[in-house]
Amino acid sequence: MCPRKRSRGYTLVEVLVAFMIMALALTVLLRIFASGVRNVSVSSEYAQAVLIGESRLATAGIDATLAPGETSGVDGENFQWTRRVVNYEPSANYSTHVKGTRAYYVTVTVTWPNGDSERSIDLSTIKLLHDESGS
């Protein structure tokens, strides 16, 4: 009697277990990849919003007279901005005053849609304006 030769191939159970492990690993990798793509999209939107906000801060007093008030507009398809200008009064113990110069506190808020909600950023600066009247 001849001893039986053992088959050198894989059994069906071993193949199924290998496929299950591969499927789980691919599921995890795809979730990580999708999350990374989503984060790139969000950071791109934030970068664009910051550029819009910085642009609106820089043009305050250039595109229109710098005076207290509010202006707004739309950039691109999704980005809405609002620029608020108020008189800036330093704290009571701040004694330096330059005659003929006024200070304004300028804030720009940029908002854009994000699914069912909205994202926004606020940028602020203080702008000085030479007052011709000298008051």
How many CB atoms sit inside 10 A of residue 27's CB?
10
Helices (H), 71-135: none
CB 79 within 8 A of CB 112: yes
Strand partners, 128: 103
How many CB atoms sit inside 10 A of residue 106's CB?
19
CB 131 within 8 A of CB 82: no
Helices (H), the chain: 12-58
pLDDT by residue (tens digit) across 92-121? 666 556 667 788 999 999 999 988 899 999
**Mean predicted lDDT score pLDDT of the chain:** 85
Model pTM? 0.68
